[in-house]
Structure 1
Amino acid sequence: MDDKKEKLARFGIATKGFVYCLIGVLTTMAAIGMGGKATGSSGALESIAGGTFGKILLGITVVGLLGYIFWRMIQAFEDPENKGSDFKGIARRTGYFFSGLFYGFLAFTAMEILMGSQSGGGSGSNETIVAKLLNQSFGQYLVGGLALVFFGKAIYQWYRAFSDKFKSKVKESGLDQKARDLLINSGKIGYISRGVVIAIIGYMTLRAAITASSSQAGSTKEAFHFIQNEFGTFLLILIAVGLFAYGVFMFVKARYRRMVSV
């Protein structure tokens, strides 16, 4: 990968970290009554636009999101990390593709907010997707399948948190002990928190499949409300701090991860 492409990819990874840090900060502030709001990615983008120099910062964020999409598509199609073409490799690369697709929708949302045609917030893209699926033949089964995808992703996040492979990659990065400890600890906390949020989104999606009602589904924002209503504010704060830690993890990855040439 040439220098310009590598810088764009690193900037993209850092931008993902920035969005997660913002989600963590806004949700923590809302939970402790200091303003803010329990929100997902779209709401975080809206909050950027409303701040000082908001349009400029949001424009920079759009560029960063495009950089992250660029990196995910390289991982999916050019396979610089040699994931391979067996079942496991194809599954990983397909995951990279859909991750890039998700951040493509997020970048599009950011551009809509930037141009003033979208106010952010809303009911969440997951509810919209569920509503469309329920209108299809065997819609409830399709939504049930989507719920299983979320559950699988949640389990994978928890696996990453405790995986020796994750720790060994950090140890092989050539970082000093302090940086390695920061990367491992922030990554572990972040993966656990992401897994919890994704599992709850999966539960809400399964609930929508059983009831055949898209209003029962939800995205990150609704998952935060569910955590607070069912388990209390303290757990919501822990999850929000965990997502902030994941953002820190992405910042460190952006700086230190090895970019394999393609």
Structure 2
Amino acid sequence: MEAPSALADIELPSPAAGLKAWARVGFASIGFVHLVLGGLATMAALGVRGSDTPNQQEVFQTIQHMPLGQLLLWLVAGGLLGYVAWRLAQAFFDTESKGASMQGLAVRGFYCFSGMIYGLLAYYAGKMAWYGHLPKSGEASRSAMQNLLHHPHGQTIVGLIGLVLLSASGIQLYRAWSGKFDTDVNSRPFTNVQRRLVYHMGQIGYSARGIVLGIMGYFCFLAAQHANGNEIRDTEGCFNALQAMGPQVLGIVAVGLVIYGLYMLVQARFPILRGI
């Protein structure tokens, strides 16, 4: 009689457990990126960077220049892909039990849209890690929008993109002030003071993200209305618009993004991942 193999006693992690672990790395990656982005924007508001507001490329360049920067970029890219996988699971497998009603499908569509956005960020982070540099992503995005505007129905498509961004902004602000986001963090290990602190971090962070998305959506909608791709704003353009209102306005939103980054790190450590 053969002795049982030692390998038979090894319990392999399930795909669900693997996805959950990958999603947690994704939350941490998003938190790290927002910490860098918000930090650079705060420096611009304080005049440390002159009047230069950060763009997407500078965020990844800053990460690249940190100790073990290339490794960090690969980890960020891989983590962001984990977040994308989680968002797609939410959208297509309805892990949040939103259902097939119009409202449920709209929320699931938002999950898919969010996954696509972070998929692009993962692509840029991976490209920076692989090649060591990036073209100016904001210019590439504007060029793509300009080309799209010249195609049949291009204005309609760009207008719809603007409406989606405005809707995403509204969702972020609604989540911030309705407290809906509070079901994403497991606060059981926290004290009452810690719970309140994390809750207010989420409110501030989601509000800051909602403001940035709203500005993007507004200018995107204007670009479609006027058939003018130069009116489109990337992250840097949004920060410039805020800075035009005053450095204090930019500083408030920038600090909000830093707080959002910290909140996402808390979520990575104490997540609630439903449905699988």
Q: TM-score, normalised by structure 1?
A: 0.90
Question: What is the DSSP-based 3-state SS (H/G/I as helix, E as strand, rest coil) of the residue aligned with 2:194?
Answer: helix
- Comparing 192-201 with 172-181, greater Cα deviation is found at 172-181
Question: What is the DSSP-based 3-state SS (H/G/I as helix, E as strand, rest coil) of the residue aligned with 1:123?
Answer: helix
Amino acid aligned to 2:200: N
- Deviation per CA, 1:214-247, whole angstroms, max 9, x where unpaired? 1111111110011112x11111010000011111
Larger Rg: 2
- Deviation per CA, 1:130-163, whole angstroms, max 9, x where unpaired? 2232022132233222222222221221111111
Point out 4+ residue stretches in structure 1 off by more than 4 angstroms: 170-173
Q: Does structure 2 conserve the Cα–Cα contact (< 8 Å) formed by 1:23 and 1:243?
A: yes
Find 1:7's aligned residue among 21, 26, 30.
21
Q: Does structure 1 conserve the Cα–Cα contact (< 8 Å) formed by 2:184 and 2:273?
A: no
Structure-1 separation of matches of 2:273 and 2:177: 23
1:232 equivalent in structure 2: 246
Structure-1 separation of matches of 2:24 and 2:56: 20
Ranges in structure 2 where 5+ consecutive residues have no aligned partner: 1-14
1:123 equivalent in structure 2: 138
2:79 equivalent in structure 1: 64
Amino acid aligned to 1:98: F
Structure-1 separation of matches of 2:271 and 2:193: 16
Amino acid aligned to 1:213: N
Deviation at 1:59, TM superposition (A): 1.2
Structure-1 separation of matches of 2:274 and 2:219: 38
Find 1:24's aligned residue among 35, 38, 43.
38
Question: What is the DSSP-based 3-state SS (H/G/I as helix, E as strand, rest coil) of the residue aligned with 2:239?
Answer: helix
2:151 equivalent in structure 1: 136
Find 2:175's aligned residue among 157, 160, 166.
160
Q: Does structure 2 conserve the Cα–Cα contact (< 8 Å) formed by 1:190 and 1:245?
A: yes
Structure-1 separation of matches of 2:140 and 2:208: 20
Structure-1 separation of matches of 2:185 and 2:211: 26
Structure-2 separation of matches of 1:69 and 1:200: 24
2:113 equivalent in structure 1: 98
Ranges in structure 1 where 5+ consecutive residues have no aligned partner: none
Q: Does structure 2 conserve the Cα–Cα contact (< 8 Å) formed by 1:46 and 1:121?
A: no
2:214 equivalent in structure 1: 199
- The answer to whether structure 1 residue 248 and structure 2 residue 262 are counterparts is yes
Amino acid aligned to 2:123: F
**Residue 158 and residue 82 in structure 1: after superposition, are their counterparts in 2 closer, same or farther (change >3 A)?**
same
Amino acid aligned to 2:24: R
Structure-2 separation of matches of 1:217 and 1:143: 10
Deviation at 1:179, TM superposition (A): 2.8
Question: What is the DSSP-based 3-state SS (H/G/I as helix, E as strand, rest coil) of the residue aligned with 1:115?
Answer: helix
**Residue 182 and residue 170 in structure 1: after superposition, are their counterparts in 2 closer, same or farther (change >3 A)?**
farther
Q: TM-score, normalised by structure 2?
A: 0.86
Structure-1 separation of matches of 2:57 and 2:91: 25
- Deviation per CA, 1:149-201, whole angstroms, max 9, x where unpaired? 2222212211111114345x379842431331122111111111111111111
- Deviation per CA, 1:84-121, whole angstroms, max 9, x where unpaired? 12212211111111211111111111111112264254
Q: How many residues align?
A: 260
- Deviation per CA, 1:64-102, whole angstroms, max 9, x where unpaired? 111111211111122222111221221111111121111
Alignment of 1:169-180 (within 5 A): 169=183, 173-174=187-188, 175-180=190-195
Amino acid aligned to 1:53: L
Amino acid aligned to 1:241: V
**Residue 102 and residue 134 in structure 1: after superposition, are their counterparts in 2 closer, same or farther (change >3 A)?**
same
